[in-house]
Amino acid sequence: MNKKLEFPNDFLWGGATAATQIEGAYNVDGKSLSVMEMIPFIELKDRKDLSQTRKLTTQDLIDSIENKKGLHYPKRYGIDFYHRYKEDIALFKEAGMKIFRMSVAWTRIFPNGDEAEPNKRGLEFYRSVFEECKKQGLEVMVTINHFDMPFSITQNYGGWKNRKVIDMYFKYAKTLIDEFHEYVKYWLPFNEINLGVLFSAMGLEGSTEDKSLAERLAGTYQDLHNQLVAQAKFIEYAKKFNNTKVGCMVADATTYALDCNPINVLENQQKEQMKKFFYYDVMTTGEYPSYSKRYFKENGISIVKENGDDEILKNNTVEFISFSYYMSSTIAKEEVELTEGNLMKMGKNPFLVATEWGWQIDPLGLRYCLNQLWDRYHLPLFISENGMGVLETLNEKNTVEDDYRIEYLGKHFEQMSEAIKDGVNLFGYTMWTPIDVVSAGSNEMSKRYGLIYVDYDDYHKGTGNRFKKKSFYWFQNFMKTKEI
């Protein structure tokens, strides 16, 4: 039975991607390597055993520059969007999308981070992509830094803990908005800024193996503070462009107390504070919230601030909130049972089913999350990522009958529509992702999210040709009818 959903006519429907997961062409037109392109593909004997994926040392990263071990680095190849962007953008348009979220590779614009002038060939590439979006009538949302800091910044400056990197980032971000403000209305300074805890291990801090948890946390929050200052500087500068809006991007995942034991309810509240609200709170109010001050004190964390940091944060908050939402999880004071094979270590919920990667599917959790954010911040909301990764192969008709994805998307759309009826100001949604891409977390092609199948395997073998899945046609029809 078809159900018609209600959405505002100007709701921004679209798809999201990231440079290192789609572009390829890692050594072309002056580009250098980013931290994301230093991580090799590791074939897991058992997909649910993720123990091998996290053991990179600083030396491994350095060896990977010359690829001394003959490994495959999938994010250097992506899906060759660099050469196929016209075809891909035309497909997004054909699906009925109105907005394309993409990121710019810092390493194409300032390959080593500290050059005096930007790389013209890098700017030319993005100008061509934006021109193509304009031609196809697609609005653009740009993530300025989607996990991919130039590797040389980590080697020569020590990554985000060095204040010089704030200036390097600002110069890069300023260059982008100066060059492209006519094409790009929506700007996200950082992707999933709260995942620094995970990604400080990948180049920001080098290897973290020999550091204590307290040292790692302190380093992470110092990195974060410097990122927040960099973001605020960009927001301040962007004010001179009337037609642009700057938002934040947080990896959200609804968490529930495992049960109604007050100790677990309180534990969930405290985890929510430090794992998600802390980030939104600072970026929307410009102040470190009171609960974080206690957390820092009790965990021996002190953040070094410079004169003027508090003012710049206070005066430059975000205009809208964007977030990714894939799953939900349970929390308890004692250890909870985890879903299998999940890099994010999510607590199992007996009422939900999980994907092959242990990500628990929870559309109602999205409505819950939207209401939480709207009630707390009263800022326009945008879902900048949501989707389902699945192992898929083309059938004899050169398509994929991905009914599970249709169900996943339909159920999430339904809850978005309910949240809008609840009064939430949700103005757009970009699915992860319109087209199969290299996985951020596991570096494989096998974890496919797209409405469009891409013929590359985990070793970048294949034609690279694009094939529409069943969900492509379903989405195209949804855009016309709003029926699920």
Residues of this chain that interact with ligand BG6 (CB under 6 A) are: 18, 21, 191-192, 251, 324, 385, 389, 432, 439-442, 447
Query: Distance (Å, rounded) from C-alpha 310 to C-alpha 287?
Result: 7
Residue 128 in tokens: 């061509």
Other Cβ atoms closer than 10 A to 425: 16
Residue whose CB is less far from ligand BG6, 192 or 458: 192
Least Å distance, CB 249 to ligand BG6, is 8
Q: Does the N-terminal peptide bond of residue 433 adopt cis geometry, omega within 30 degrees of 0?
A: yes
CA proximity to 456, closest of 434, 438, 433, 472: 438
Chain length of the chain? 484
Least Å distance, CB 384 to ligand BG6, is 8
Query: Distance (Å, rounded) from C-alpha 219 to C-alpha 418?
Result: 41
Strand ranges for 202-347 from DSSP E: 245-257, 320-331
Query: Distance (Å, rounded) from C-alpha 386 to C-alpha 327?
Result: 9
The residues facing 403 across adjacent strands are none
Least Å distance, CB 437 to ligand BG6, is 7
Least Å distance, CB 428 to ligand BG6, is 16
Least Å distance, CB 478 to ligand BG6, is 22
Residue whose CB is less far from ligand BG6, 84 or 447: 447
Least Å distance, CB 178 to ligand BG6, is 26
Residue 153 in tokens: 């910044």
Residue whose CB is less far from ligand BG6, 200 or 264: 200
Closest residue to bound ligand BG6 by CB: 441
The answer to whether residues 114 and 168 touch, using CB atoms and an 8 Å cutoff, is yes
Residue 198 in tokens: 């995970």
Residue whose CB is less far from ligand BG6, 53 or 155: 53
Start-end of H helices in 79-212 = 81-95, 106-109, 120-135, 151-157, 164-180, 196-199
Active site residues: 385
Element (H, E) at 381: strand 381-385
